[in-house]
């Protein structure tokens, strides 16, 4: 996900959980911790361009590394004698911000090593696109209102809406995949084989309550807040069929 969204999500999470104890500091700690995991982009080599692809979203994006990463961020405050007495809530707030980054990246299509070192599986739940202005604006509004009025419940409300938004992305995504499978059967293809091909070669994304699933043959888009529209397009991009599917 883009850095701006991570920063707002970290700030919102920090304020929602630790705002009462830390005040506006929770926004700074959460935002910084949510920004930090992407520092892995600096792990690269001039001689090996694949090193970047290997290590981006690797150990810095795992749940297991979260307490360590949070400690690195909290150390910035712990080093400051006046802040030292609050090191526990600061570390906890940083851990929440860091974890929010790992989970949000896992909600996109690009794989994330969420369970490293226990598993090399790259989590990619296809719930949201890499950039989604709607999602970002909801978080930004929650943080801005909370800081302006010193009311942390605004961030809780924005996180609640964002969770619903991700659920909508998941529902639409499943609908797109189901419609794609049904269409494959209609055309005489092996649905299970096609599903495997979709996972191997296909492309899926969700954005703004829409989910698009693309594989070699065609593209299926599920959209509409009433969950009622399925649109099927040929690979060339020309729409061939549009149907109501209640
Ligand atoms: Zn990341």
- Condensed to tens digits (0 to 9), the pLDDT of residues 49-97 reads 778 777 888 899 999 999 999 999 999 998 888 888 889 999 999 999 9
In angstroms, what is the span from residue 245 Cα to ligand 1's centroid?
Answer: 36
**E strand or H helix at 213, and its extent?**
strand 210-214
Question: So what's the pLDDT on residue 38?
Answer: 93
Question: So what's the pLDDT on residue 90?
Answer: 96
- Using alpha carbons only, give the angle 56, 90, 162 rounded to the nearest 5 degrees: 60
Dihedral (CA of 22, 28, 29, 34) sign = positive
Tokens representing residue 209 in the block:
């309550």
Peptide bond into 102 cis (omega under 30): no
In angstroms, what is the span from residue 117 Cα to ligand 1's centroid?
Answer: 17
Task: Locate the domains of the chain by residue range.
Answer: 3-125, 167-244
Residues of the chain with pLDDT below 70 are: 191-246
In angstroms, what is the span from residue 216 Cα to ligand 1's centroid?
Answer: 28
In angstroms, what is the span from residue 30 Cα to ligand 1's centroid?
Answer: 15
In angstroms, what is the span from residue 101 Cα to ligand 1's centroid?
Answer: 6
Question: So what's the pLDDT on residue 65?
Answer: 96
Question: So what's the pLDDT on residue 30?
Answer: 97
In angstroms, what is the span from residue 224 Cα to ligand 1's centroid?
Answer: 29
**Tokens 């360590």 sit at which residue?**
68
**Within its chain, how far is the Cα of 94 from the centroid?**
18
Which SS3 state, helix, strand or coil, does residue 206 take?
strand
In angstroms, what is the span from residue 37 Cα to ligand 1's centroid?
Answer: 6
Question: So what's the pLDDT on residue 202?
Answer: 45
Phi/psi of residue 207, nearest 5 degrees: -160, 135
In angstroms, what is the span from residue 185 Cα to ligand 1's centroid?
Answer: 37
Q: Which of 168, 51, 63, 79 is nearest to 123 (CA)?
A: 63
Cβ-based burial of 119 (10 A; exposed 0-12, middle 13-18, buried ≥19):
exposed
**E strand or H helix at 89, and its extent?**
helix 87-106
Question: So what's the pLDDT on residue 241?
Answer: 44
């Amino acid at each position: 996900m883009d850095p701006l969204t991570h920063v707002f999500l970290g700030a919102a999470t920090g304020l929602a959980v630790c705002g009462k104890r830390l005040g506006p500091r929770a926004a700074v700690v959460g935002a910084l911790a949510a920004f930090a995991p992407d520092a892995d982009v600096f792990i690269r080599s001039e001689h090996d361009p694949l090193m970047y692809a290997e290590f981006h979203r690797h150990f810095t994006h795992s749940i297991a590394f979260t307490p360590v990463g949070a400690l690195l961020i909290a150390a910035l405050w712990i080093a400051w004698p006046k802040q030292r007495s609050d090191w526990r809530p600061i570390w906890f707030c940083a851990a929440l911000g860091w974890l929010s980054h790992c989970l949000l990246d896992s909600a996109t299509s690009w794989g994330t090593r969420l369970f490293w070192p226990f598993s090399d599986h790259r989590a990619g739940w296809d719930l949201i696109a890499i950039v989604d202005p709607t999602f970002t604006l909801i978080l930004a509004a929650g943080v801005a209102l909370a800081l302006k009025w010193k009311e942390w419940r605004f961030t809780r409300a924005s996180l609640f809406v964002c969770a619903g938004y991700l659920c909508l992305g998941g529902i639409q995504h499943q609908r797109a995949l189901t419609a794609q499978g049904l269409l494959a059967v209609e055309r005489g293809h092996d649905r299970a084989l096609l599903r495997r091909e979709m996972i191997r070669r296909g492309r899926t994304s969700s954005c703004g309550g829409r989910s698009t699933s693309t594989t070699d043959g065609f593209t299926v888009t599920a959209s509409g807040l009433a969950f009622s529209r399925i649109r099927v397009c040929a690979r060339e991009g020309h729409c061939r069929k549009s149907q109501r599917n209640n």
